[in-house]
Chains A and B, each alone.
Chain A
Amino acid sequence: MFSRYDFLIWISIAILALGVMFFNQQMSAYSGEEVQVSVNNEKYGVFPLQEDNVLEVEGVNGITRVEISDGRVRVTHSACPDKICIYTSWIHRPNQTIVCLPNRVVVKITSESQQDIDLYTN
């Protein structure tokens, strides 16, 4: 009843659709994302998210150590009393932020292409 051409067409449609989906998922990981660091409302620097890096940011009270690895960002060390920035842990999506209020350090991920989520609140 079904010939092999039938199955060929069905499977090719499914593979085409799944392939494009998979390709998108792979592509979305490399979409020009950057880590924006600002101290006391002044721009400190912009760093690529895909490059592993450890930044020593000079804040108001002392040094905040920002670690970038595997396309994620976290604060490992900070000269502040409550350590909220450290407890925020890893962030990786555009518009996610780590804020250290006592030290006036804001770490934000920015992206040129993907603007699907406007803002994250913790």
Chain B
Amino acid sequence: MHKTTKLVYLALLVTFAVVIHTIESALGITLLVPGAKLGLANIITLLTILLYGFKSGMVVAVMRCFISFLIVGNPFTFSLSLSGAVFSTLIMGLAFIFYKKGFINVLTISILGAAAHNTAQVIVASFVVQIPYYTLLSFYLPVLLLIALPTGVFTGLAAMYLHRLVGKNMAISRSMGGVKKEFTK
């Protein structure tokens, strides 16, 4: 029962992530510099990590990249989004350990994820694009890191409120392995 429910909810989360990813790339919102965007799909990855832990988060992030590659995008954007998603999920999974111990907030996990996403993307882009990697790393990355702060707060807040709402759902809570104390109030 638990396993199947979890599987169904993970599939749903992947679907949400794909839809958000597709809509975001269709809207083409760029902030200040080309390549900077809100990273709304990160909300779902973070939510999955909060609900089911790091492994499921990684599964959802990678699946999201592969499926969105089939819908929108080309090999270049796929390589960027996959590297960014994998690295940011790794960092967020690491930060999640500290979150469970009560050291840091959800917003900080999100910001770290956004920063990791940007870093991985710039490193991969420097291999693909014919721009010297030094220029990209030293001129482009700082701007992206600064932008990662507000966007990270935004996605973090969204994930936090979603987590609160979703956690009250009995079926999901059961699929997580019992109703958590924090949602029973």
Contact = CB atoms under 8 A, between A and B. Distances in A.
Interface of A: 1-3, 5-6, 9-10, 13-14, 16-18, 20-21, 23-24
B104 interface: yes
B105 A6 contact: yes
A1 B142 CA distance: 28
Interface residues of B, number: 19
28 contacts: A3-B102, A3-B103, A3-B104, A3-B105, A5-B103, A5-B104, A5-B108, A6-B107, A6-B108, A10-B108, A10-B149, A13-B111, A13-B145, A13-B148, A13-B149, A14-B146, A14-B149, A17-B142, A17-B145, A17-B146, A18-B146, A20-B138, A20-B141, A20-B142, A21-B143, A23-B138, A24-B138, A24-B139
Contact of B98 (A5, A17, A21): A5
Contacts of B138: 20, 23-24
B142 A18 contact: yes
Given A6-B105, A10-B149, A20-B138, 7 more contacts: A2-B107, A3-B103, A5-B104, A6-B104, A9-B104, A9-B111, A13-B111
